[in-house]
Amino acid sequence: MAPIRLRHPKGVSTIQVDLDSFSIQDLQQAILAASEIPPSLQDLKIGYPPRTLAVIPELPLESLGLKAGDQLIVSQKPGAAPTQAATQSSAPAARVLSHNAALGNASVPRIPPASSSSGPDYVETENGTLVHRIVPDDNSCLFSSIALVFHQNISKAQEMRKIVADAIRADMITYSEVILGQAVIGISQLQETLTVFSIYSHPRDEYISTILKPSAWGGAIELSIFAKYFSTEIASIDVETGRIDHFTPPPETESGNRCVVIYSGIHYDAASLAPTPDAPADFHQTVFPIISNSDDDPILKAGKDLASILRAKRAYTNTATFDLKCQVCGQGLKGEKEARAHATQTGHTQFGEY
């Protein structure tokens, strides 16, 4: 018997199959036992990008080319009456997929139906659903998003900060005081206060010390460090404009893979691909092979469509034009530029958004 890893709407299972003597029907029965999805409704995919397996129950299992340790992704086909057990476990996903089935396999923005309006936004593609993975508004959003992408665990955000600090310490040329000797902007979502950390005497040491604090934000410098550290391009998609900024690793370490983060002006989130919008986190893929740097790349196209959905909801902040008030002296200011200037002139570092 050989182990096959199974990802399905109820979780992750390992089933045992006989690769030499089982039929595909035997595999389907084993999947039924683990997922409660009847054979007639099983949609089986394998690999990345996930490709659908041609399932003919009477054929021997070896015709699928499975190997011990392979992983199958199982979802429920739309448009058919599920069993009672399947209805209880995955009805929301089935309704969404059935509603969109007539739209074909193109990347199609879909705002979740009213019954799941509290859930994340998503875009359907031919290889799955690109889901907006929302992380907490706690000043560590960039680090949490990167931890989610590369470790599937946002609690590792502080470890991501240490990666940045170590990289800056190790490369005094790339991360010189000229590059780092600037104000570091952070906005506390919990206190609704904009804090300007002004760096004067020792920009390099101060930057390292500041970036290790949970209150400090990350931005372009940190994204470039993460791209190099993980040998993976990071595509940052701006919600307000739809612009994509590509942070790429050095050519000698480039892996040919890409991940996506969504930037709202004051917040970063991640994006991941799943079989259905409400699939468990274990089903989500967060790193994708690079196809192109244009809409020919299905993940980039879906990411831009996802940004369009968020833009329509005005889920972004224009930091160049938003209205601020100095919490120390009461002066009204417009945008990040005036906040920086005011902090430099007065030493005041606490601002609230009107």
What are the catalytic residues? 138, 141, 267, 348
Rounded CA-CA distance 39/74 in Å is: 11
Rounded CA-CA distance 10/149 in Å is: 22
| Distance between first and last Cα of the chain | 65
Which of these, 196, 195, 194, 172, lies nearest to 183 by C-alpha position?
196
Cβ neighbours for 204, distance < 8 A, ≥ 6 positions apart: 168, 172, 175, 176, 177, 180, 181
Rounded CA-CA distance 318/212 in Å is: 26
Rounded CA-CA distance 255/251 in Å is: 9
Cβ count within 10 A of residue 20? 9
Which of these, 107, 111, 85, 81, lies nearest to 94 by C-alpha position?
81
Contact 179, 221 (CB under 8 A): yes
Residue 144: exposed, middle, or buried by beta-carbon count in 10 A (0-12, 13-18, 19+)? Answer: buried
